[in-house]
Structure 1
Amino acid sequence: MATQFAESPAAWRTSPSAVDALREHLAQHPEEKWEHTHPFDVSRSDIYYEDRWQPIFAEMRAKGPIHYVDESPLGPYWNVVQHKAVQHVESLPELFSSSWEHGGITILNRLEDAQLAELGRERFELPMFIAMDRPKHTGQRRTVAPAFTPAEMKRLEDDIRHRTAELLDSLPRGEVFDWVDTVSIELTTGMLALLFDFPWKDRRLLTFWSDWAGDTELAMVRDLDEFRQGILREMAAYFQQLWAQRANAEPGPDLISMMIHSPAMNQMSPQEFMGNLVLLIVGGNDTTRNTMSGIVHAFDKFPDQRKLFEQRPDLIPNAVQECIRYQTPLAHMRRTATQDTELFGETVRKGDKLVLWYLSANRDEEVFEHPDKLDIARENARRNLSFGYGIHRCVGARLAELQLRVLLEEMHARRMRVHVAGDVERVRANFVHGFRKLEVEVTTF
């Protein structure tokens, strides 16, 4: 694939989005639509796109904490669906590995070399610290952690507030617009650009790369997967230019400088560099972006909670936690058993794939009363597992919470009420859980 993005960073405007590419491919090849027969095979993306996943997971939770799916297009796997079970598996990282060498953090299979040869494909791995075990995970995580300390959040808050206020003041009144593109993407992409000290005029490249990186189901379609790999290599080439520019400069607070001056990360392979970029971009973009959209959609669905938000701005910090719980912007993480073990009365074999369904744990009736309802005064909203648990808990959680809190505060300061007023399109994926389009209209309360 030609280095189009390095030469013309605006090329994302004419390249297909990941979701459009997959939709077009399946329209042209209907025989490749994936059939699922197991009742608990929740790897299928249609149930999230159509927002009908809730009763399937509720049935599983009622029957037990974990369930085995013996056959699916993605191979056999265990569904881990209860809150206590997800926490338990996350708390044993040596027994249940996150490493890319064992399969990584998504439900997709890691093909064996013989299978790749049969398919005529080369191995394409993206090592990243969330998909590593200790001790390597520890060193790389510590490299970027200083970007998300309480002191850094305090330093960033004024800028976040200024950008958020400026954007909200620019929103049209009396006409319908797409909240996802106009607000959620713009705010989170701008934040990423600041974290990387990324060229501002090219910031929408970060969204483009995030979408192609996060749509993991593309890997099931050879042509699209190869196109996806090319896009990610273009991303790495662009960042390599930034790396080269800063290699001889004084250390700065941006993430690229932190990696350059870290013994744990300054000798990364090209694949590892690419993988950690994907992690930071998807983690910093899709998760916050989809919760920003989820807040608006949930307030429209539960007008009593929108009214409570309008009457009780003191509830905003808790409302942030509840909206993160309710939306759950990443549906799952995957682990792989490193040895035979007993888990909640079931025998899990070495090499078995366990899928930790955060969006199910966040709707666990044993933990959250009336879990399918938004309740911004919920006393235990902070028990949500949207950021994970244990050593792999999201390193940027504080920044996500800050951005969401500032958004709600600035909306309240303007007495802004947002109504869903048109098309709602969800992400067609089993990993990223969110919205592609959310047409709204702004009024005043």
Structure 2
Amino acid sequence: MATTTRDPAIDLSDLEFWSRPQRERLAAFARLREREHPAFFPELGLPFIKQGPGFWALTRHADVVEASRTPQVFSSEPTATTIPDMPAYIARYLGSMINMDDPRHAKIRRIVSRAFTPRVLAKLETDLQATATRIVDDVLKRGPGDFVTDVAARLPLTVICDMVGVPEPVRPMVFDRTNTLLGIGDPEYTAGRDFRGEVTRLGALYVLVRVVTAAYELNHLAMKLARRRRRDPADDLMSALVTADVDGERLTDKEIGSFFILLVVAGNETTRNAMSHGLKLFTDHPEQRALLLEDFEAHAPGAVEEIVRMATPVIQMRRTVTRDHEMNGHTYRAGEKVLLFYNSANRDAEVFENPDVFDITRSPNPHVGFGGPGPHFCLGANLARREITVMFRELFTRVPEIRANGRPDRLYSNFINGIKHLPFTY
């Protein structure tokens, strides 16, 4: 087992760490970045889940970038999204291309990328604008409320469901089940009560049942949509998936189902969290809001990148070392796990001047909020940029005084930097 000296006040495996105030966690990661070598953390023991020895925490920008660029050493298999290896009864639903290496990953990604080309995204612009207009119409009609549910969640959910042909009546179910999959351990979404103390067998079983049920229901929906598109193809992503040819083979139902889950989870949750963090950032930094409103089109691109850097909706991803490898003065052994902490890399003072300052004019801004460079860079990054731009353009044009009105209710997670609820007023 790997061992290393680490700060006893910092334990990234401890559930309690992830319930601390944001400023305390940022300070902890700053201390980790100052270390000569990465810190090793034993894995948390969870009922019904096989416990591994632990993981190395990559917290510096240089390490995260280099590991991302070296997938032949830092592998996404068997999983990139969970610290422990996923049990087979969960992996059957969540084993999407995000948990694959090339060449299989590249082949599936080429199929899916057809839905994210500049030409397709340009065609989406009219629909994005119409949806944003309806959302702001409702805001003006209803008055102040919850920015997450009333605004931020609606645009990406509508867009991604349109792309895969999810019928309108089913969309609330999709929203709820994606919350469950990414809110593992949060009492609002999966636990039913607060399990931040000792993780009991009964509590863990309850969470696992909720997660597997949510994954099954989304997979079942994907199978229904796939059958429909095989009979009646349309101009949507599901049709492209069911008719695609990969080396003379069609994607299996399992591959279609797992990719569908990846798409609705990533396409819905991460963009909505970036928007929610964005409103809070502009509320806390009125001078940046004023600068954006002076010339929205000129400053919007920089504002979006800075929101994503500061928010870093996906906190970390896992990689597994395929062979002994030295990187930046440290030797990693075959079979070891590493976690790429994007949230920490995006605050690295070696790369970003005044990293804790929100500055929409920051340039260059080589953040890793969409993942590091390499084969797993976020496929939907340009769609997310467009969604954030369109939504804030519509909001700040028609409701320029909109602002957060209270503390955000943060998701309890070591994976997603989420905001569950955010009161707003205008």
Q: TM-score, normalization: structure 1?
A: 0.83
| Identity across matched positions, percent | 29
Shift of 1:188: 1.4
Counterpart of 1:144, as a letter, is V
Q: Match for residue 195 of structure 2?
A: none
Distance 1:41 1:268 in 2: 41
Relative to structure 1, the CA distance from residue 224 to residue 424 in structure 2 (aligned partners, 3 Å threshold; closer, same or farther) is same
Contact 1:215 1:431 in 2 (8 A): no
Shift of 1:91: 0.7
The superposition leaves residues 95-116 of structure 1 with CA deviations (integer Å, 9 ceiling, x where unpaired) of 110012xxx11342116xxxx7
C-alpha RMSD over aligned residues: 2.4
Shift of 1:312: 3.0
**1:27-426 matched pairs, under 5 angstroms:** 38-49=8-19, 50-51=21-22, 52-64=24-36, 66-70=38-42, 72-73=44-45, 75-100=53-78, 104-110=79-85, 124-125=91-92, 126-172=94-140, 175-217=143-185, 221-250=204-233, 252-264=234-246, 267-313=250-296, 314-381=298-365, 383-388=366-371, 389-426=373-410
The superposition leaves residues 175-210 of structure 1 with CA deviations (integer Å, 9 ceiling, x where unpaired) of 531000000111111111111121012212221121
Shift of 1:379: 1.1
Relative to structure 1, the CA distance from residue 282 to residue 46 in structure 2 (aligned partners, 3 Å threshold; closer, same or farther) is farther
Contact 2:396 2:402 in 1 (8 A): no
Relative to structure 1, the CA distance from residue 434 to residue 71 in structure 2 (aligned partners, 3 Å threshold; closer, same or farther) is closer
Shift of 1:69: 1.9
Task: Please say which of residues 174-183 and 368-377 is displaced more in the overlay.
Answer: 174-183
Counterpart of 1:79, as a letter, is A
Contact 1:38 1:72 in 2 (8 A): no
Q: Secondary structure at the match of 1:336?
A: strand
Relative to structure 1, the CA distance from residue 433 to residue 46 in structure 2 (aligned partners, 3 Å threshold; closer, same or farther) is farther
Distance 1:431 1:168 in 2: 30
Counterpart of 1:283, as a letter, is A
Contact 2:90 2:212 in 1 (8 A): no
Q: Match for residue 13 of structure 1?
A: none
Shift of 1:48: 4.3
Counterpart of 2:25, as a letter, is W
Shift of 1:239: 1.8
Distance 2:343 2:407 in 1: 24
Q: Secondary structure at the match of 1:355?
A: strand
Shift of 1:156: 0.3
Provide structure 2 residue ranges, at least 5 long, that are not aligned to the other structure.
Answer: 1-5, 46-50, 192-198
Distance 2:392 2:403 in 1: 15
Counterpart of 1:236, as a letter, is N
Contact 2:147 2:423 in 1 (8 A): yes
Contact 2:81 2:99 in 1 (8 A): no
Task: Please say which of residues 268-277 and 301-310 is displaced more in the overlay.
Answer: 268-277
Provide structure 1 residue ranges, at least 5 long, that are not aligned to the other structure.
Answer: 1-35
Q: Match for residue 435 of structure 1?
A: 419
Contact 1:424 1:435 in 2 (8 A): yes
Shift of 1:215: 2.9
Relative to structure 1, the CA distance from residue 37 to residue 65 in structure 2 (aligned partners, 3 Å threshold; closer, same or farther) is closer
Distance 1:273 1:216 in 2: 23
Distance 2:90 2:7 in 1: 29
Distance 2:171 2:378 in 1: 23
Relative to structure 1, the CA distance from residue 47 to residue 308 in structure 2 (aligned partners, 3 Å threshold; closer, same or farther) is farther
Distance 2:416 2:27 in 1: 19
Q: Secondary structure at the match of 1:63?
A: coil
Shift of 1:72: 4.0
Relative to structure 1, the CA distance from residue 415 to residue 231 in structure 2 (aligned partners, 3 Å threshold; closer, same or farther) is closer
Relative to structure 1, the CA distance from residue 46 to residue 58 in structure 2 (aligned partners, 3 Å threshold; closer, same or farther) is same
Distance 1:312 1:270 in 2: 48
Distance 2:82 2:352 in 1: 26
Counterpart of 1:92, as a letter, is T
Shift of 1:317: 1.3
Q: Secondary structure at the match of 1:171?
A: helix
Q: Secondary structure at the match of 1:428?
A: coil
Distance 1:46 1:395 in 2: 33
Shift of 1:173: 7.5
Aligned residues: 394
Relative to structure 1, the CA distance from residue 260 to residue 175 in structure 2 (aligned partners, 3 Å threshold; closer, same or farther) is closer
Q: Match for residue 27 of structure 1?
A: none
Counterpart of 1:186, as a letter, is R
The superposition leaves residues 373-399 of structure 1 with CA deviations (integer Å, 9 ceiling, x where unpaired) of 110111122x11011121100111110
The superposition leaves residues 2-30 of structure 1 with CA deviations (integer Å, 9 ceiling, x where unpaired) of xxxxxxxxxxxxxxxxxxxxxxxxxxxxx
Counterpart of 2:70, as a letter, is L
